[in-house]
Amino acid sequence: MQEVFNVYSSYYDLIYKDKDYNREADYVIELITKYHKNAIDIIEFGSGTGKHAELFSLKGFNVVGVEPSAEMIKIATPKTNTSLSFVQSSIESYNNTKDFDVALALFHVISYLTTNEDLEKAFTNVCKRLKKDGLFIFDVWYSPAVLTQLPEKRTKTIENDLIKVIRNAEPTIHWNTNIIDVAYKIEVLNKLEQKISHLYETHKMRHFSIPELLLLAKVYGFELVTTHEFLTKKIPGADTWGICMVLQKK
């Protein structure tokens, strides 16, 4: 398991301030309600700063957020309430006697599992943590889009009253392992002190095809409920960077 998201986590919510967590949470709840009506207990792997998890708990679900980054957990912890808690662990190793109705891994968490060994551990563990008929819902980078569009160098600039963050992302494609190394160089300007600091972090991301995920699902005790483009529910194609998979434990 790679532990990225250390220095990066302090700027995570600022970098993704335009991400529509409310819309995404409503979309996930719609899937849960459609395919597992009486679900109440959710485990969210890679819960990050806890934004989705908090929304699920406010909508009446009991939620445990599992996140390997201590820094992310620190940011999420103030959101804790009677139906929401956070644990520092990973999707491969989280261990508890409680069983859940739904397991989630949102915003490319499964794409951070770059080796077959990590994927095997993760699918085995998710299956163990779910009750029979429980759902496993996740989104990943989709190979046809990644290999047609090809990842590009990108720069994102974002600021608030205190800081300005410039994030440069430079991808390296590894053709034979389905992995993209995204090297982030982050420049942070402290506006009050007029000081600039630099952070560097490389995120290894794996992209997946549907048959590859279906094979994993079958081997580890799941069947496919549905797959489509994340959020829009369109049929995946060469322009679909992120697909959502809804699996059910047999």
Q: Which residues bind ligand SAM (CB under 6 A)?
A: 1, 5, 45-48, 51-52, 67-69, 72, 90-92, 106-109, 112-113
Angle made by CA atoms 33, 206, 114, in degrees to the nearest 5: 100
Other CB atoms closer than 10 Å to residue 34's CB: what's the count? 12
Q: What is the CA radius of gyration of the chain?
A: 18
Give the nearer residue to ligand SAM in terms of CB position, either 190 or 202: 202
Angle at which helix 116-129 crosses helix 210-219, to 10 degrees, equals 50
Residues 225, 196: Cα–Cα separation, whole Å: 49
- Tell the smallest beta-carbon distance from residue 54 to ligand SAM (Å): 11
- Tell the smallest beta-carbon distance from residue 17 to ligand SAM (Å): 11
Residues 155, 20: Cα–Cα separation, whole Å: 20
Closest residue to ligand SAM, based on beta-carbon distance: 48
Give the nearer residue to ligand SAM in terms of CB position, either 184 or 222: 184
- Tell the smallest beta-carbon distance from residue 192 to ligand SAM (Å): 28
Give the nearer residue to ligand SAM in terms of CB position, either 122 or 188: 122
- Tell the smallest beta-carbon distance from residue 16 to ligand SAM (Å): 6
Length of the chain: 250
Give the nearer residue to ligand SAM in terms of CB position, either 108 or 249: 108
- Tell the smallest beta-carbon distance from residue 164 to ligand SAM (Å): 22
Helix (H, G, I), strand (E, B) or coil at 69: coil
